[in-house]
């Protein structure tokens, strides 16, 4: 583009000004994309990693509908930065619509299942829902606790698995336990 503008104009400053004017919207879009990828902290990590994961999943499922992640898209010579931003915006809307529809469908199926169980058991649907929630929470707690009750594991072994300061020493308990053996 710049070489064509240089051929069309009489001076380099005029060519630079014309080039800058023509490419201003592209440059602004590239800066916006770059800033959205470089957010600091936890939010930045989430807004960077989750879209890449979503893009990889949806691209594998429907490659003709969804495009690869934005970093790959920026490397395509046949697309402008504005076209990449527009395509990724459309991809994100479709992805969120699909995820939302899936979650709404799961919620509806859960509601139907709870109502069916409530009717079958002769109970109120709120009671059945609370019971199912209790079973889920109880299962999660039992799974967490089950890690402590491994065959061949002594109660003292639990201390060696922790990384807490024991007895005011600067050493971690794993180091203390290994040095006493």
Is the pTM higher than 0.85? The answer reads no
Q: With beta carbons less than 8 A apart as the criterion, state whether 17 and 6 touch.
A: no
Q: Do 74 and 98 belong together in one domain?
A: yes
pLDDT in tens, 12-31: 888 888 888 888 888 898 89
Query: Which secondary structure element, helix H or strand E, spans residue 93, and what is its range?
Result: helix 81-121
In a domain, 15, yes or no: no
- Cβ atoms 63, 116 nearer than 8 A: no
Q: How far apart are CA 158 and CA 144, in angstroms?
A: 13
Same domain, 61 and 100: yes
Task: Give the pLDDT confidence of 56-99 residue by residue, as tens digits.
Answer: 999 999 999 999 998 889 888 889 999 999 999 999 999 999 99
What sign has the CA pseudo-torsion 84, 88, 89, 94? Answer: positive
Q: In the chain, count of helices (H) and strands (E)?
A: 8, 0
- Asked if 58 and 91 sit in the same domain, the reply is yes
Domain shared by 121 and 159, yes or no: no
Residues 137 and 171 in one domain: no
The answer to whether residues 78 and 135 belong to one domain is yes
Q: Do both 65 and 106 map to the same domain?
A: yes
Do 107 and 174 reside in the same domain of the chain?
no
**Structurally, how many domains does the chain consist of?**
2
Domain match, 128 and 51 both: yes
Is 173 a domain residue?
A: yes
Residue for token pair 């169980």:
117
Q: Where are the alpha helices (DSSP H) in 122-152?
A: 125-146
Alpha-carbon span 147 to 149, nearest angstrom: 6
The CA distance from 116 to 94, in Å, is 33
Is the residue at 22 inside a domain?
no
**Within this chain, do residues 101 and 161 fall inside the same structural domain, yes or no?**
no
**Residue 170, domain extent:** 150-181
Specify which of 9-13, 137-141, 145-149, 175-179 reaches the highest per-range mean pLDDT.
137-141
Q: What value, to the nearest 5°, has the Cα angle with vertex 123 and ends 122 and 127?
A: 165
pLDDT digits (tens, 9 = 90+) for 99-114: 999 999 999 999 999 9
Does residue 10 lie in a domain region?
no
pLDDT on residue 17: 84
Claim to verify: residue 97 and residue 162 sit in the same structural domain:
no
9 lies in some domain: no
Least confidently predicted of 37-51, 71-85, 143-157, 167-181 = 167-181
């Amino acid at each position: 583009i710049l070489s064509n503008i240089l051929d069309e104009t009489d001076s380099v400053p005029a060519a630079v000004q014309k080039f800058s004017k023509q490419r201003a919207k592209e440059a602004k879009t590239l800066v916006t994309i770059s800033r959205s990828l470089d957010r600091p902290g936890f939010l930045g990590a989430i807004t960077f990693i989750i879209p890449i994961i979503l893009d990889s999943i949806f691209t594998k499922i429907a490659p003709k509908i969804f495009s690869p992640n934005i970093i790959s898209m920026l490397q395509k010579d046949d697309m402008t930065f504005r076209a990449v931003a527009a395509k990724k915006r459309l991809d994100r809307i479709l992805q969120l619509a699909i995820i939302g529809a899936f979650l709404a469908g799961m919620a509806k199926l859960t509601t139907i299942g709870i109502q069916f169980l409530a009717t079958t058991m002769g109970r109120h649907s709120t009671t059945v829902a609370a019971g199912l929630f209790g079973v889920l929470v109880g299962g999660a707690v039992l799974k967490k606790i089950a890690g402590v009750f491994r065959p061949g594991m002594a109660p003292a072994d639990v201390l060696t698995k922790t990384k807490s300061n024991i007895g005011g020493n600067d050493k971690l308990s794993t180091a203390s336990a290994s040095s006493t053996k």
